[in-house]
Structure 1
Amino acid sequence: MSTLRLILGGSLVVWLAACSNVPYAQRVSERQAAYAAAAGTPQRSFRFFNLYSWEPLGGAQLAVYTRPNEAYLLDLDGGCPNLEYANSIGLTSSINEVSVRFDRVLTGPGYFPCTITQIRPIDVTQLKAQEKAQRKIEAKPRPPEHAAQG
């Protein structure tokens, strides 16, 4: 009975993924463009006390939030295996500072650490404004003949 449930559950997940309006690669590409537009000039390092949140942007980029309104776009050397599928990540640091070409992103046991090749601060306010503009819809009232059919 549990095998049947597993098969049905797996089928449901595949079916729901297939029903998505926007393909995964297109969504990742749009997110990469939004983060790149909000990213500032490259810097050598950033202070890191706690990892508040993170978002993989394909296998070679990662957005990390150290606070709700403080984020950095990290470029990774040669891609990072398991980054898009990892449940959690880690960052190496020296005295609470993450540095370019020295520190790495950890995606789990059995995977090689990914070297950080570039760090750019993200203007989180600008990023949120872009996201809000993308969510805006143009609402139009229904024509009278459709409203009565309900």
Structure 2
Amino acid sequence: MKKLITIVALAMSLVACASTGRLSSAERLDLYRAHAGPPQQDMQYFGSLNGWTELGDSALAVWTRPSEAYLLELRGDCQGLSYATAIGLTSQMGRVSSRFDKVLVRDTTGGPQVPCFIGSIRKLDVKALRASEKELRQAQVQEREAGA
């Protein structure tokens, strides 16, 4: 019930923002949090990512496969995350652990990698997340058509 209320409140706030054409990092983080499961100790990691999305300076989503993604919330702000071109993850024996492993922000200038400690890992319901994103895009199109 609590999750349903959160999703409804989020949807109402996001529809109000639909006229801007783009969600802020905070709004995207709220959307991802609404589709994330409970915190877990670790996640399986095979050494490469299928993709990633920054969600502000203290969170990101990483795709380990096209249909499998995790919300990583960091312990504090991660310098350079919002404009990074690449990231890496530390791991131990094929697992990335919260509180022990880090996101490594790669700088385009060739400077040092900035380590950002992972505070929590939550598996994303990718199917539901994509459906919500599709609904938001449709709402934005309808808003633009109504305004034209």
Question: Percent of counterpart pairs with the same letter?
Answer: 45
Greater relative contact order (Cα 8 A, min sep 6): structure 1 or 2?
Answer: 2
1:36 paired with 2:38, answer no
TM-score, length-normalised on structure 1? 0.73
Q: 1:22 to 1:138 in 2, by over 3 A?
A: closer
Name which of 30, 55, 60 aligns with 1:57.
55
More strand by share: 2
Instruction: For 2:135 and 2:21, locate their aligned partners in 1 and report how far apart those are by CA, in whole Å.
Output: 20
Give the 4+ runs in structure 1 shifted more than 2 A. Answer: 21-24, 108-112
Contact 1:83–1:107 (8 Å) recurs in 2: yes
Unaligned 5+ segments in structure 2 are 1-18
Of stretches 108-117 and 79-88 in structure 1, the one that deviates more from structure 2 is 108-117
Matched residue SS, 2:121: strand
Q: Unaligned stretches of 5+ in structure 1?
A: 1-20, 143-150
For these two proteins, the number of residue pairs brought into alignment is: 120
User: What is the DSSP-based 3-state SS (H/G/I as helix, E as strand, rest coil) of the residue aligned with 2:82?
Assistant: coil
Larger radius of gyration between Structure 1 and Structure 2: 1
AA partner of residue 36 (structure 1): R
Distance in 2, Cα, partners of 1:57 & 1:100: 18
> Over residues 1-22 of structure 1, what are the superposed CA-to-partner deviations in whole Å (9 max), with x where a residue is unaligned?
xxxxxxxxxxxxxxxxxxxx73
Question: What is the TM-score of this pair, normalised by structure 2?
Answer: 0.74
